[in-house]
Structure 1
């Protein structure tokens, strides 16, 4: 339950200021996260191993310090809750297994079309895809690849911890759970505009093309951020968003145009549509708080908090 030592009158008087501080704190976190990528001056491209290692070290440090920001904000705002900062940020053991499996399953259902297309294009079919996914040697090669580690491990872990785990507990008391789900991704989307700097430095495209690509990236990162913020609020865990983020990074954006040109076009279009339909049908059932126990971050919300309720 949200409480204040100063009573309802002072709480009301300070609500506006408190929420502005919340927004500025989130903006500060986003700026520090992105800024940490550029503390290492280098003329090398972003995929060079030495650049990747330095940047991974930077964002891991920012992620480690993010709980201190949340702790400081909670102390300043006089928020009283029976949960630790780590629990509010979704780092907890209760119901860890369903929190890891069910959101990932939901995301894979959404990617049913691309997964079916990948299996169709594999000479060995679905069996070949399964063998590739379970091949130990392939996993060993991946673990030794710094680009893979950045895209599949470090980026999902640090971004979800900062942009969901740290920001959501600060936003929820001010905006409520539903508004926080749509507000937090804006910081996530804006944070990706730093790629404009990378592209301009390499002079690969014209400024108009770079801005168009960045605008599209802002759109889909914001939509994806809203999805993982929803998962975070419904499960109270950060592990689900991390695994979903990693899976989506591995798959990329669905290539619908190639599906429309595929020899098995009808079957693929059906798979794409069925995946989206099943995703919408299963969205609330698979994220039902019933599977995840008491959700610490929901205790920060003033009633009614419909997103935190079972459906």
Structure 2
């Protein structure tokens, strides 16, 4: 066991390794012009020739390498902790076996993976009405699969980022707090704040992209507050999933699915098909009710047998 203060230090180290990796690597760092541009609110300025923005392909590739390296370091730290625990406890598990189990590299049933799509029943129904679900008339394997998912941006958004972020901010962070015997409530509602805070560095990019003006500063501040709130709430959910299932895979699939779907927009969905307004509202409500039911402690949807974290 480790102390709570040691867990705080290690969790902060994990965040520093992950976020800091993209600033240590020269190819992953961004560069902007110092020129102030006064634009209407909501409009970004054109990218200049010598600038490096977040969505530039070479920046994305460098950042993918950086965050994968940072994730490996975090896992190595957890392995060192497990080696120390194994030596002190003198149990039959090897440090590698302990690391694999604590990081949640274990299989689970299909049910935890269906909880997130259930919440998105309303948006999925709206996509169905527009004919944009896979296999429908307005869905294209070329545009919606290859260009959307398999581009360098898609690899970042839907593969590398969800996997590495969940391994670091869920598996590694919750492991050290579990070793410190922190309560499950604190792990669910306090640890994800680190995940939200780790996205605050995007404010600098927003400030520069929108002209380095007072309007740009306002947009960066509002965007940061929204992103911190959204990612923290999402972190509560994924932490609960990880602790209940003892597996990292349901949080990863939830992360991937949410990145693909984006933030639900019931108003937009209704405006697209006002003739199906009632059906869309009902689909949203059924999804929310089903989501709450599936997560409740009395069901088996999110609870796995023998989890290390939830007895």
TM-score, length-scaled by structure 2: 0.80
Q: Output the CA distance in 1 between the equivalents of 2:122 and 2:149.
A: 27
Matched, 1:197 2:211: no
Q: Output the CA distance in 1 between the equivalents of 2:222 and 2:99.
A: 39
**Structure 2 partner of 1:139:** 145
Shift of the 143–257 alpha-carbon distance from structure 1 to 2, 3 Å rule, reads closer
1:47 to 48, 55, 66: 55
Q: Output the CA distance in 2 between the equivalents of 1:259 and 1:45.
A: 32
Q: Output the CA distance in 2 between the equivalents of 1:21 and 1:114.
A: 43
**Structure 2 partner of 1:168:** 174
Q: Output the CA distance in 1 between the equivalents of 2:68 and 2:224.
A: 24
2:22 to 37, 45, 70: 37
What does 1:1-311 align with in structure 2 at a 5 Å threshold? 18-39=3-24, 40=26, 41-43=29-31, 44-73=52-81, 80=89, 82=93, 84-92=98-106, 96=107, 98=109, 101-122=110-131, 128=136, 132=139, 135=141, 138-142=144-148, 144-174=150-180, 175-204=182-211, 205-261=215-271, 262-263=273-274, 264-284=276-296, 285-289=299-303, 292-296=304-308, 298=309, 308-309=310-311
- In structure 2, stretches of 5+ residues that fail to align are 32-51
How many residue pairs align between the two structures? Answer: 274
1:24-46 per-position Cα deviation (integer Å, ceiling 9, x unaligned): 21112112211112222343110
Q: Output the CA distance in 2 between the equivalents of 1:186 and 1:42.
A: 25
**Structure 2 partner of 1:7:** none
> In the alignment, is the contact (CA less than 8 A) between 1:52 and 1:147 conserved in 2?
yes
Shift of the 165–260 alpha-carbon distance from structure 1 to 2, 3 Å rule, reads same
Q: Output the CA distance in 2 between the equivalents of 1:137 and 1:260.
A: 25
Kindly indicate which of the two structures has a greater share of residues assigned to helix: 1
1:193-238 per-position Cα deviation (integer Å, ceiling 9, x unaligned): 0111111222355212211111011111001011111111111111
Q: The residue matched to 1:119 in structure 2 has which SS?
A: helix
Shift of the 211–42 alpha-carbon distance from structure 1 to 2, 3 Å rule, reads closer
How far has the Cα of 1:136 moved from its partner? 8.1
1:51-95 per-position Cα deviation (integer Å, ceiling 9, x unaligned): 000000000011112122223445667874755112101113xxx
Shift of the 209–140 alpha-carbon distance from structure 1 to 2, 3 Å rule, reads closer
> In the alignment, is the contact (CA less than 8 A) between 1:74 and 1:170 conserved in 2?
no
